[in-house]
Amino acid sequence: MEGSVVRLPEIIALKKKYKAYLYLDEAHSIGAVGPTGRGVTELYNVNPSDVDVMMGTFTKSFGAAGGYIAGKKELVDYLRSHSHSAVYATAMSPPVTEQIIRAMKCIMGKDKSTEGIRRIQKLAENTRYFRARLKEMGFIIYGNDDSPVVPILLYMPGKVVAFAREMLERKIGVVVVGFPATPITEARARFCLSAAHTRAMLNQVLHHMNEVGDHLCLKFSRLKYSSCPNLHDDTDFELPS
């Protein structure tokens, strides 16, 4: 809901200090975050064995159904024999299983193509571009710059429906979320980016977002963002011709 990424190295340090167990939810990050899509552990370059329980879903990056729990063999064996969702559930269907295997091979490059890594890089590019443009326009957004989940703060409950209707009139479907799913003063619209989105698609959405933001007075940010952030540390600010 927040588009945030946990500060995993610090959490692992606390875990080791206080001898706790660590459970990591990678539902929105596996297959999408990190240089090769391996999730938050790869993003921060930490050892996955430092995480006791890793949970993820197969419904997002893998386009299938179900999910997984990963950990030490003792943990997985215990869950298989004691978890109600494992003991009383039916087995995953062969087509769903094959879809997951094929998606994993694509992401890992084991299908002898570069399509998986291309999509991961494209998603990262789309994420950074979309977030940067929204900030330049004056919207307040939550989350980490690497997160493809982009929440835009609408704040006022009365503007949630108005925003959804304005965007729908422009042939753009958006997901709006309000109380009780969020605090009553933090209503928002949530965008989930995809590697399939082209730059033209993103620009079209951004164009309409700019208009609707002005019409409904949704640009609450007082910060000013440069359109050329890569020049912040330079001494020569002349743009190339």
Q: In the chain, where are the structural domains located?
A: 8-112, 117-216
| Per-residue tokens: 116 | 């998986």
Burial of residue 29 (number of CB atoms within 10 Å: 0-12, 13-18, 19+): buried
User: Rounded mean pLDDT of the chain?
Assistant: 87
For the domain made up of 117-216, the CATH class stated in words is: alpha beta
Q: Is it the case that residue 145 has pLDDT exceeding 70? A: yes
Tell me what pLDDT residue 90 has.
Answer: 79
Q: Tell me, what's the pLDDT at 183? A: 87
Which residue, among 216, 177, 135, has the nearest Cα to 1 in the 3D structure? 177
Tokens found for residue 33: 């975050």
- The DSSP string of 131-172 is HHHHHHHT--B-S-TT-SEEEEEEESHHHHHHHHHHHHHTT-
Percentage of the chain modeled with pLDDT above 90: 59
Where do we find the tokens 């033209």?
A: 200
- pLDDT band at 233; cut points 50, 70, 90: very low
To the question of pTM greater than 0.85 for the whole model, the response is no
CATH number listed for the domain at residues 8-112: 3.40.640.10
